[in-house]
Each structure stands twice: as structure tokens, then as C-alpha cells.
Structure 1
């Protein structure tokens, strides 16, 4: 009896371990219950060999220091922070759910963060040693895009389309007073956040001036989005500049606090141009701006006088036969007001260039075929700068250090995989998080002076004892031009049997600025991909030419013909799949969202003999309906490239539909507006083609929150219904 009981318990435990994921777990578990152990919000304390982070409960700010031999200790508790806030601001109430995870170290002892009180939001400077609030500037509860000045005496923030500055102890200043909602000040939503734009306001180093975007979009056509929540549905108009049509007009302005007025930088004509790389000079006397023409093939880096707005000079120009895509502000070398770093892919890979403020190229700091993915910081004397860059044909991320004077570059991390590293302010220590296809997370401290590595912890496999993930393998496929190795990922069905034949789902994106296959935990896949594999599918993904992290020429093959070379490469992936005896060649499906939705629909229409089923979410169906900034970069205007627009439109090919296609769209989509899919559906009706359509009435370009479970279930059900049978 005892043996039978033990056998029952053992087999029961094994069955539990073999349990498949639920669709709920597959949707959120990757970031919740199945998230590998990691440091939350890590940051190096300035001028100290101490790393700080939040504990597992998010209630305490923890610290590990070299002095304590990296032992863990509590630095500040949430309750200490709340007590300090109440002492400084007794007229308000604070009920923090967690310690502010967006904190930053301003100096060795001062933390900067934002907290919400009952009456106002506050931009806080907090002394972590004394456990007291040094200063707190209150802004309206509905304030947006708050920016604290370097000296901590002012907070700039947005009240709808206008800018307000609140002094530490004073009356708020209305910097702008535009009543027309088509005039937008200080917003980061300029040029639709292309060109790396993520801010709309910048303080000068002396905190005396505020630089900001001023956008006039009154001339841009209104685009209606229908709000279905009201008793009688109503339209919410947005400004949406479509390819080939009128675009917004943007200038940069400087507000002088002492003078109480703004001036405009004289960036000149034409009014339809893109203002990028916006950077204050370290002394606050000049502003550097990249002027990119609407054709996006000619960039000028200009200098302007901040006191007058006058043009000073053009430092250099960058031109391309395809497109120039500036994505980063300048980075001045500490202690050298006349030298800065500029990032560009002009020589084939996005790399660093050291320039003088006279416009002279001092040093090309590029290294082999490494693409910089994140610029970190300098060491103490600014002899070196650190960055994260690619390796292993774009699959890996490694930490590099380059000496500014010589250009000598060293790779500082060695393990193959994805290194998420941050460097101490003196440049001597590295907090390294390593993951790869077999490692959930390996966290260590690297001493760059003696190469000593101190392990802090190694995350356990979060799926152990809960579920068995199907086998995943990284593969290489040669591109359609026969020259380029492409990175692929194949997830095998659960309980894989090579003697059987399985249906295939190809998950695709394929467009610029996205990479789906990486040497990281889960191989860069979503847990939903593994869920589908547990349901009996081979799940395959290929990063075709045109996708991210492989350099300029790899991406620029898309120019003027989006989807053409990308599809050719995806079909090479299909050839790879068909060479496998376990692949059912009559049951191949494809799925993707946004650019992936465009690729899904394109593949189903152009390769109808290969793909039986497709699920296209938020698909671009004709690039003439897409916005100017992104669309014209890759396709030029419809007037300039009518053949390219005609060739890549899926609306024009609706009559070619053979398989089953589900199109999903968010009714509030302000990125790929619903007109895309509606025009395609109408073309299918005209052609007598049956197509399935599903709308998420309250969602924008993607389906987020709890409704994501519904979306994933719908996708899984569609393939189960139409691909498996």
C-alpha cells in the first residue's frame, strides 16, 4: 500500500510538472509568476562603489557595496520615505504602494524621484543618508511630462498643450498660453516620436532657460476615431499626417526665466522639416539641432545662439541615397565643452564619432561590425566611454569600452548571450546581468581593474516544477540574396516526435527597429509562442533583412519596396521548414502584428500556395494610409514612388486570397488607423473573398491589459480551427 501511495504521489507530482500553460499564464506569466529573479531598478550610487535596487516586495531601497563585500543591506524603507514626506509636506497625504522605482541618483547622497500625494504630485529631492526630504516641488495632479531643473529649483510640466514652470517657493509661471489645441508646446509627441524623440523640454545646465518644442499642426487634416462608449457614439479627432500630404510645422523655442519671455531658434525654411538631436551646449549658451529634410536623406547639424535664436553655423552634413535616420542627442565629453559624441550609421553600422564644436571629426570610434544599442557613461576622467553593442551576428549583447584618444576598443564581457550592464560612475565596476538560451539570469559584479567577478545570484529556472517548456533552438538561414546569414528560432511541439508531422505557425514582424530572435532567455520569444508549441505546433520565427541590429545595409534593402525582400527571406525560412521531415507542408500558418500584420497579409496573398491560415493584427494594408515620418522614410511619398506603393499594397491583391485570414484591429488605433483594414475588407468583398474580421472597440494599436488574454485565446482558437484540421 505504501509503495502504491508513493507511486501515486510521484506520478501526481510528475503530472503537475508536465502541466501545460494556461492562456492566462502564457499572456502575463513571463513578466509575473515566471519572471526570472532579477534586480529591480538597479543604479550605481554616484561617486560611490555601491549599487542600489528595490527588494522583492518593492518596499525598500536596498544597497550592496564593495566596502561590505557586496552584502545586502536596506538603505531606505518606504515607511522612512513616507515619514520624511509628511514631515516636509504636512498638508498633504501620501499612501505609496511601493518605493519609487524611477529614482535617480543626483549625487552621492541625493535621490530624485516623483511621488503622488492626495492633493498634488511632487518632484522630490531626498537625502538618503539623513532620511529627509531636501526639497519638493508640487505640480498639478494632472500634470504631464514633468522636468526638474538641474538645481532642483524649478519644475516644468505640461497642462494639456501648454507649459507651466513651478518654482520651488513661488507662483507658477505660464510659459505658453495657446488656446488652439492644434498648437502644442513642450510635448514629446513631435514628429510622431520618430527620430528617437522622447522629450519635448530641456533645461539648460544653469537652470535659467527652458528649451522646448513648439508644434503647429493646425494645417494637418483631422482624422476621426469613433468613441463607442457613449450613448450616441461620437468622433474624437486626432491629427494624422498621411504619406504625401501636409505635415506639421515645428520650431524650437527658448524661455528665459529672468526675462520672462521666449524666443524662437531661427531654423528657417522649409517649414516641413524634422528637428532632431536637440542638445544644449554644456555652458547653456548654444543649442545644437539636427535639421533633417522631409525627404529624410539630408541632415545638417546646426548650432544656434540661445540668447538671440540666431543661426551660428553648420558643423557637418550627412547625406544618403536611401535615408538618414538620426536617433540620438549629442553627448558632450565631461570637462570638454568643445567635444561631443555623435551616433550615426553612415559608415554601415551605428557607431560613435568624436567631434569638436568646430565641426571637425576628431576620431571614428567604431569597432568592427558592432552596432551600438545603448550608450552608457564615461569613466572618472572621461578618457573612456562605455556602451552596449551587438556581437555574434546580432544575437548577443556585450559591454564595450572605447578610449576616446586612440579609439582602442575592448570587449569587457565574455559570456555569449545578452549582457544588460551598467557601469559605476568611476568606471571601475560593472553590474552585469547575463541571460542566454540556457541561463535565466546570472547577476554579478565585475571589477575592471583586476578582472575579479563576484557572483550576486543566479536565477533558477522559473518553470521548474510548474511546467515543461518545449524545446527551443536557434537556427541560421541564408537570405534570398544568397549572401547573408539570418537568425531564426524554432520551438518544437511538446512531446516532440520526429516521426510525426506537425502544423507550423510562423510568427513574423520583419520591419525596421525590431529584432525577435536573440541569444537570451526563451530566445527572445514570448511565452505565448511556447503555449502554441504546447498545443502541438512548430513555432518558427526569422529576422529577415530589414530588421534591427545588423547594420545599415541589412536594413536599407527595404527602401521604396517595403515587404518585398522581407517576404523573399521569409520564404527562405519556409524552405528551411519544408526540409524538415516533421513539418506538415500542407499546414503552414503565419501571424503578426503591425508591420507583422502587413507581412502576414502579404505572405498569405503572395504565397497562397504555401500559407493556409493567417492572423494579421493591426495590419498596414496600403502605405499611403500610413503617417509621413515613418512611411516616407522607407517608401518616399506616393507621388515620388507610385510603383512601390502599388506593388506593396495588399488591398490591390485581395483577389489573390486563397487561405483563411483573420484580421484584428483596435478601433482606437492611432498608429495604423482602422481605414487600412476596412479598405482591405471592402476589397475582399468586391473580389468575392471571404475573410474574418474582429474589432477591439476600446483599444489602440495593440490590445493590452486583461483583454490581451482574450486576444491570445482568439489567435489560438483560430489556428486550432483552421490549421490543425
Structure 2
């Protein structure tokens, strides 16, 4: 009996033995077998104290509410949806793999979601009380960018480059441009810079549609070679390179009742940018941020929605570097004459209360907190809630600000990352919290008493499964000796301080990105931990120029991308070299996109430090990058020839000493392949050996199952040339 028990214990232990990640787990394990327990598609039901989300089976919409002491109950099932749709549309067949992830609440009783039938796709409004479909607006199976009107009776959608409105079962062709260079209603206007994520906006009373009209007929074509055809063919895209001709954009108002159009009179140079597009709550005016191509002068203008006429400029912003509008206006509920505007004009992106005459009523910023997400208001719009970056950008906390007094209260306190949604009345917050030692704590917080009710505390998904290497957050001083920089150090598995280990520096370094945060895993992906399991020290630092630290921290990059960023990365290298366990002769670097540019730059400018590099989708000369992003940070090649010259890695190819692998997607429409091809050509011309790998069917990122192949290639390259 004892022998059998001992045998059982041995086999049981073997079954749960810890192991290193497979390359598949290192790629997608965070979202699959190592996923941290969390709520899926959580939302507050309007005008209630009820939270809804999709359950663990992904088949039911469930709810927790205050009245039920936050116990979980089923509100609506996938089967309920199918039954309701079948009753409304008996000639259609519907099937759902999961409950619709993109559901939203239109009001206290109405869900909005999309449903694909055998004949059409529908935008559906469903009453959850009686489980009946209120409306189902059919749109084409090939529809894109679909937007439902405020009253739920009409949908605007794109058929290639034209806009169609479906109303009362009939399709209305809003535009009929046969030239594909005229693009209507697309969210890919100004290449989705300036916070643009929509190209069409219904008026509040659903009688008009406002949309972008983008004329890019004059923009140069760039060929993307399609390799799958018998004879490879070129697919041309419009790609406005820095300093070259850019697109011309206007805003058009379409009146649904009379089928007439009005063009907003956004006078000025044709190549200016139109941003922050916002309807007034009464539908009588339209507000637009008009930004010059130089991106250093913004005008917030008001226009008449009936005539398109310019009314007035509310205010202007100018900067010696650049002005970067990223958000639409947020009108104060119940007040058509006041709105919130987000800007970093005084050093940190914060909220300002304005009236519609353009008068600044109140600065609502708090200390050096950077607003990262505006959440909403409480009853009567007395207070506004937002998430802000604090603790030198490491933490995310929830704040509440009184609109009248400007007084701000920090609602959450635990150091780490809080992701929150606020109930309609502002009295309750659903808070999901993590830090480097906490996978995910989910609770309901009363904003008046600060009392928290825990819904669950997620377990560590790695316990008894794998040896998760030790990680710690560190601080390094910037190259100017003034600024603390956030770093993340992952130690090799089975770390022995008496040994020396090779290093993989993972870098991005560019604007609007932050790799190191005080949350679970320190913000790292599992591939970083996989490399640590293979015996590497894995190090990352957020240099000046990266996100969530304020205007001056980021704008230091202006006209010289990569220069100060590299100087800060070398401060990180100095930090590493101060560690007895780091093998200073075996330091490598890996990054993608801006990180690919940084990787290549470091391999060349710091050739005696970095032995191995893997650069994915790298910008190699900023003159090959697009107007909107490239000119913001570098100005044009004509205006800044010295900056373009000094930051071009093509010009620096003769400096290469180590082993460098360049990877590119052949269909990359963001960093076009010409960048890396020109660099490879320069290496050949200078007798420098460089490795090159192409993913023929991928764009800027390698996705899907091929991502596993990519990560294996990166790991193999470091093992071959750095580890030995």
C-alpha cells in the first residue's frame, strides 16, 4: 500500500513538474493557457449599479449588481440572441461562436451588436428585458466602418471608397467616386494619426452625416509586390513620403432628407490636417481642429452645420516643436455650451474646461499627472473621472475632479496599474488592478466612501507550471543627468550570481509607447521571459522620447530621432555593465518598427558594444517614412537636411561590425520595404555582411501562426551568434 502511495506521489509530481515555455507558449501563452483571470467585455449597464460582462464559456452575458450583493447571474445567452433574431428575421440563419464581444449598451434596456446572417450583416438593437429585436439594419456583407445612427434606424457604411446609408431597408449611395484616389468616410485619413479612429459621424438627431473626403490622387504610388500570383504583380498604395506631396482632405455634411451636401469651409492650405472632429450636442455646429502641415500651429474652429460656414476660432495652440491634437471634444452632459479639451500645452496632457466662445473656464490638471483615459461624469456632471499616469509614468491611478472648483481627488491608491470603468451616476467604479506582484484584483469601489468590494483575486497562472524568471523594475538616470528612466531587468532562470550571462536588450524607444510599467510581468511579453529561461539577461529601458512622462520628456526627440534615445539606452548599458553577472562582451539588441530603427542605429553607432542585433520592420532613413508621423518629429528633409543625414542608418552602414539580422514584411504599408532594401544595398556596397529575412505575405507586423516562426528565428539568431 505504501509502495502504491509513493508511486502515485511520484507520478503526480511528474504530471505537474515545472517546465520552460515552448516557443508557442512564449508567443501566445499570455492569452491562452497562461492567461490571467479577468472580466471580458465588462461594461456598466446605463443608469444602474449593474456590471455586465461575458462569462468564462464566452456564450453568456452575465451581470453582477449591488442589489444581488454582486453575485453573478445570467442576463442573456447566445441562444437568446439567435432566438430573438430568428423571430425578427425568419428567412435568415444566424450562428455565433461566442456572445458578441463588441456589444454595447444604447440605454438601460438596449444592447447593440453586429450579427452575420446568411444573406446580410446586421447592426442590431435588442431589448434585454423582453428579449426582442427592436431593429436590425442590414448592411452589405462587404461593408466596412459601419456606424449606426443615434436613433438606431440608419447605418452608414463603406463600400470600398464610397459611402452607403441603409435606411428602412433601402440603400442610399451618398458618394459615387469611381476614382479610387478619392476616399470617402475612411478612418484611414491622415494615416490615423492625431487620434483619428473614425471617418463618419452621425449628427445627434440622426438627420445628417459628417464625413471625411480624402483626395490622394496627387500622392505618389508605392508598389507592394504580390508574390502569390503566377507572375508577381504590383499592388499600388498611396504613400506620402516626408517632404513630398500629401493628401488633401475636406469635411462634408450630407443631409439625409434632401440628399444635399455641404462642404465645411476649412479654408487654408490644401495639405493641412483636420482633427478633433466633434458635433455640438444640438447638432447646429461642428468643431474641427485645423492643424498646419508643419504641425506647430493648431486652430480649434467652429462651423455652422447648416451652411458649412466658418463661425470663429475658439483658441489656438503654437509650439516651437509640434502640437499634437489627439482627442475629440467632450461636451459636459446637460450643457451645450461647455466642453473638455485635452492638451499638453502646459507640459502634461491634462483636461481644460472651455465654453463654446473659446474662453478657458478652468484648468483641471492635477500636479504632473498625465491623463491617459477620460472615463466620464457623475450625476449632474459635477465631477469628471479619468485615469492618469503617475509615479514617473509607472502607475495608472483613477482621479475625480470637480468641474467647478477644479479640486482633484485620487480615488485609487494602491501602487500599480488600475483599469477602471465608472457607473453612469459616478458612484461606483469597477476597478481591475495589477502590479508586479499582483496578477489581477477586481473590485467595486464606492467613490464616496472609497469602500471596496472584492469580486475576485486572480491566481498566479504560472504557479507549478513553469519557472518564471525573477523580474525587477529598476531606475537609470538619463544621459543629461537629470531624469530618472524606468527599466525592467529579467534575470536568467536558475540565476547564479557567480556566473556571467549574455544580454538581450529589448528596445522600442519611440513616441507613444511605453514598455516598462508597474503591472503584472512588468509590462513584458512572455517572449522576454522565454529568452531569460534560455539563459539571457533581458533588459528594457524607456528612454526619453517614450510615452506618459509629459511634453518635455517626449519632445526631446524633435528633429533628431534616435540621438537622445540612444544616449539613454547607453546609460542602460552602463547600468548593466555594473552588474557582475553580465558578460559585457555578449550584449545584443532586438526591436521592431521604431525599435528596429533603434536596433540598427545602436548596432552601428555603438558597434563596439552590441555584438548581435535583430531589427524588425526598421525605418532606415526618415525620408522614406510618411508625412504625418515623420514630419511631426523630423520636419521635412528640405527643412532639416542635417537631421535626416545624421540619423540615416543607410549612411552609417560602413560602421557595422557585429551580426545583424534585418526582418521585413513584404507587404509592409507602414515602414515600406524600400527602407531595409536601401540599407542592405549600402551594406553590400561597403563589403558588410548582413542577414536578411522576408515574410512575403505580412504587413508591418507578423501575425497569426507565423509569429511563432518569427520568435523562433529571433531566439535562434541570438543562440547562434551571441550565446556561444
Structure-1-length-normalised TM-score: 0.99
Rounded Cα–Cα distance in structure 2 between residues aligned with 1:528 and 1:136: 44
Q: Does 1:125 align with 2:125?
A: yes
Q: Give 1:6 deviation, angstroms.
A: 2.8
Q: Does 1:399 align with 2:398?
A: yes
Partner of 2:446: 447
Partner of 1:155: 155
Change (3 A) 1:253 1:642: same
5+ long unaligned stretches in structure 2: none
Partner of 1:316: 315
Rounded Cα–Cα distance in structure 1 between residues aligned with 2:525 and 2:365: 33
Kindly report which structure 2 residues correspond to 1:95-110, keeping only aligned pairs within 5 A, or say none. 95-110=95-110
Kindly report which structure 2 residues correspond to 1:275-674, keeping only aligned pairs within 5 A, or say none. 275-674=274-673
CA contact (8 A) 2:137 2:169 kept: no
Rounded Cα–Cα distance in structure 1 between residues aligned with 2:492 and 2:533: 6
Q: Does 1:29 align with 2:29?
A: yes
Partner of 1:235: 234
Deviations 1:468-506 (A, max 9, x none): 200000000000000000000000000000000000000
CA contact (8 A) 1:143 1:159 kept: yes
Q: Give 1:153 deviation, angstroms.
A: 1.1
Kindly report which structure 2 residues correspond to 1:42-191, keeping only aligned pairs within 5 A, or say none. 42-167=42-167, 169-191=168-190
Q: Give 1:139 deviation, angstroms.
A: 0.4
Rounded Cα–Cα distance in structure 2 between residues aligned with 1:17 and 1:569: 41
Q: Give 1:18 deviation, angstroms.
A: 2.4
Rounded Cα–Cα distance in structure 2 between residues aligned with 1:5 and 1:695: 55
Rounded Cα–Cα distance in structure 2 between residues aligned with 1:278 and 1:13: 60
Q: Give 1:118 deviation, angstroms.
A: 1.1
Deviations 1:231-272 (A, max 9, x none): 110000000000000000000000001111111001012000
Rounded Cα–Cα distance in structure 2 between residues aligned with 1:617 and 1:15: 38
CA contact (8 A) 2:624 2:674 kept: yes
The runs of at least 4 consecutive aligned structure 1 residues that moved more than 6 Å come to none
Q: Does 1:39 align with 2:39?
A: yes
Q: Give 1:8 deviation, angstroms.
A: 8.4
CA contact (8 A) 1:175 1:261 kept: no
Deviations 1:584-634 (A, max 9, x none): 000000000000000000000000110000000000000000000000000
SS at match of 2:252: strand
SS at match of 2:443: strand
Q: Give 1:440 deviation, angstroms.
A: 0.7
Answer with 461-470 or 547-556: which moved more: 461-470
Structure-2-length-normalised TM-score: 0.99
Partner of 1:274: 273
CA contact (8 A) 1:666 1:701 kept: yes
Rounded Cα–Cα distance in structure 2 between residues aligned with 1:446 and 1:670: 44
Rounded Cα–Cα distance in structure 2 between residues aligned with 1:626 and 1:6: 65
Rounded Cα–Cα distance in structure 1 between residues aligned with 2:684 and 2:8: 58
SS at match of 2:28: helix
Rounded Cα–Cα distance in structure 2 between residues aligned with 1:387 and 1:449: 16
CA contact (8 A) 2:225 2:667 kept: yes
Partner of 1:193: 192
Change (3 A) 1:44 1:240: same
The number of residues matched between the two structures is: 724
Answer with 650-659 or 464-473: which moved more: 464-473
CA contact (8 A) 1:301 1:317 kept: yes
SS at match of 1:566: helix
Kindly report which structure 2 residues correspond to 1:254-273, keeping only aligned pairs within 5 A, or say none. 254-273=253-272
Rounded Cα–Cα distance in structure 1 between residues aligned with 2:16 and 2:503: 27
CA contact (8 A) 2:240 2:246 kept: yes
Change (3 A) 1:242 1:319: same
Deviations 1:547-585 (A, max 9, x none): 000000000000000000000000000000000000000
CA contact (8 A) 1:16 1:467 kept: no
CA contact (8 A) 1:515 1:547 kept: yes
Rounded Cα–Cα distance in structure 2 between residues aligned with 1:402 and 1:7: 63
Rounded Cα–Cα distance in structure 1 between residues aligned with 2:384 and 2:155: 30
Q: Give 1:713 deviation, angstroms.
A: 0.1
5+ long unaligned stretches in structure 1: none
Deviations 1:326-360 (A, max 9, x none): 00000000111010000000000000000000010
CA contact (8 A) 1:17 1:464 kept: no
SS at match of 2:670: coil
Rounded Cα–Cα distance in structure 1 between residues aligned with 2:657 and 2:470: 32
Calculate the aligned-residue CA RMSD, in Å. Answer: 1.1
Deviations 1:646-689 (A, max 9, x none): 00000000000000000000000000000000000000000000
